[in-house]
Amino acid sequence: MIIKEAKEGYLSPEFLAAARHEGIDPERLRRLVASGRAVIPKNVNHHFSEIRAIGEGLKVKVNVNLGTSKDYINLDEELEKLRIAEKYGTDTIMDLSTGGDLRAIRKRIIGDSNLTVGTVPIYEAGISKAKLPSKAVVDMTEDDMFNTLEQHGKDGVDFITVHCGVNKTSIKRLKKQGRSTGVVSRGGSFLLAWMLHNDAENPLYANYDYLLEIAKEYEMTISLGDGLRPGGIADATDRPQIEELITLGELVDRAKAANVQSMVEGPGHIPIHQIATNVQIQKSLCRNAPFYVLGPIVTDIFPGYDHITSVIGAAIAAMTGADFLCYVTPAEHLALPTVDDIKEGLIAMKIAAHAVDISRGIDIHLDHEMDIARYALDWDKQFALAVDKEKANMYRNQRRPRTDEVCSMCGDFCAIKMTKDYLNSDIKTVDV
């Protein structure tokens, strides 16, 4: 057990691998995991080498969602998305498939990925029931929910989103409050509908100890989902959201006591001036558990550009303490993303993550190397250092300069070239 080992002072291979990626002392990482301020998601049945730690003061991590839908089932395309996501530096993958043979798709993604993989088991539990004649999502049983959770553990899923904070108290608050966008979390809506239809408490909340037993058996990290997250900025930081967050904070404590790693998911649509407050509230209520945010998206009127609206929010969230950023693609709110959408959304979110890492003194040498290459007008080195080498090359080649030493924007009036020519000496650079 990773958290149990951390509490007992044992440095397992997982700690050593994750610390090596972070470039930190394994003992420091052990203390973070033992205190619940960091997690190392790693299922006992999933064997992969790119092990990541998520949490306080570490590199900001980025997640890529992929998966089929009922309207578009193409496993080959999802595996291509996986390849692109790994190529451009995602830290984790989530399979959110809702169409086709869900278990076969999940097992193939886990088998092909060399990264941490997460899922949302309630999707499969509800959708599998809805496929039966005269049945709907609300007809799933408690056994359906927990059996699906266990199956995901057996299949090697490293972390699972579970919407345990959607309970009778939070729904009562939601009804009293009212909202512009209602409930936009798919998992949250499944459970809300089930509770209202069956006039019963959320089984994932009522039987949380059993959920922890399953997670513990397979060493699954639980990601406490924000089922009542705001789906529009008008609903940001409202009472239902905070009501749920209070419950999630209590569930973090119970997970830690049970030696189960946990993190907390954060709001989706938040105006800029409320982001820092949201992060601070989460960190306070949840005892500094790792915070996993979707964006947040800072404005609602730019469909087709939500990879940008989310990156703005993500950079602010990470700068104020968020640890884990879920990418958003240009197709958000519109369609299942394409392979190109996956690449564009991931690189945009990587910009936010790296920008915050620089502020922490992490990986700043990469930018310094690029600075040196630019002053040297060393284009090959610049392309080698670029995250998206193909795009950088494309822009240079589609409008070639008359002189290869410079680019076609400034040409002979290149500031760097003129400086070097007239000073006739190299400007000394300073290591940072």
Predicted pLDDT of residue 402:
87
Q: Is the pLDDT of residue 229 over 80?
A: yes
Q: Is the pLDDT of residue 137 over 70?
A: yes
What does DSSP say about strands 221-224 and 159-162: parallel, antiparallel, or unpaired?
A: parallel
Percentage of the chain surpassing pLDDT 70?
98
Q: Is the pLDDT of residue 69 over 70?
A: yes
| Residue 293 φ then ψ, to 5° | -115, 145
Q: Is the pLDDT of residue 7 over 70?
A: yes
Q: Give, for 38, the enclosing helix (H) or strand (E).
A: strand 38-39
Measured distance CA(57)–CA(47) in Å, rounded: 26
Q: Is the pLDDT of residue 38 over 80?
A: yes
What interhelical angle do 186-198 and 168-177 show, nearest 10? 100
Predicted pLDDT of residue 427:
52
Q: Is the pLDDT of residue 370 over 80?
A: yes
Quick one: average pLDDT of 101-113? 98
End-to-end CA distance of the chain: 39
Average pLDDT value for the chain: 96
Measured distance CA(403)–CA(408) in Å, rounded: 8
Here the tokens at position 366 are 């990469």
pLDDT tens for each residue of 141-198: 999 999 999 999 999 999 999 999 999 999 999 999 999 999 999 999 999 999 999 9
Q: Is the pLDDT of residue 429 over 80?
A: no
Cβ 150 vs Cβ 214: under 8 Å = yes
Kindly list the structural domains of the chain, giving each domain's residue range(s) and its CATH number in brackets, ordered by start.
Answer: 58-359 (3.20.20.540), 364-423 (no CATH)
Cis peptide upstream of residue 296 (ω within 30 degrees of 0): yes
Measured distance CA(328)–CA(285) in Å, rounded: 26
What does DSSP say about strands 92-95 and 38-39: parallel, antiparallel, or unpaired?
A: unpaired
Measured distance CA(274)–CA(238) in Å, rounded: 11
Q: Which of 325, 321, 245, 324 is nearest to 285 (CA)?
A: 245
Q: Is the pLDDT of residue 8 over 60?
A: yes
| pLDDT band for position 317 (cuts 50, 70, 90) | very high
Predicted pLDDT of residue 431:
56
Q: Give, for 65, the enclosing helix (H) or strand (E).
A: strand 61-66
Burial 65-98 (b: 16+ CB within 10 A, else e): bbbbeeeebebebbbebbebbbebebbbbbbbbb
Measured distance CA(174)–CA(183) in Å, rounded: 9
Looking at residue 12, its amino acid is S
Looking at residue 69, its amino acid is S
Measured distance CA(411)–CA(406) in Å, rounded: 6
Measured distance CA(187)–CA(184) in Å, rounded: 9
pLDDT tens for each residue of 388-409: 999 999 999 998 988 888 999 9
Cβ 66 vs Cβ 94: under 8 Å = yes
Measured distance CA(130)–CA(300) in Å, rounded: 32
| pLDDT band for position 423 (cuts 50, 70, 90) | confident
Predicted pLDDT of residue 425:
57
| Residue 33 φ then ψ, to 5° | -70, -40
Q: Is the pLDDT of residue 108 over 90?
A: yes
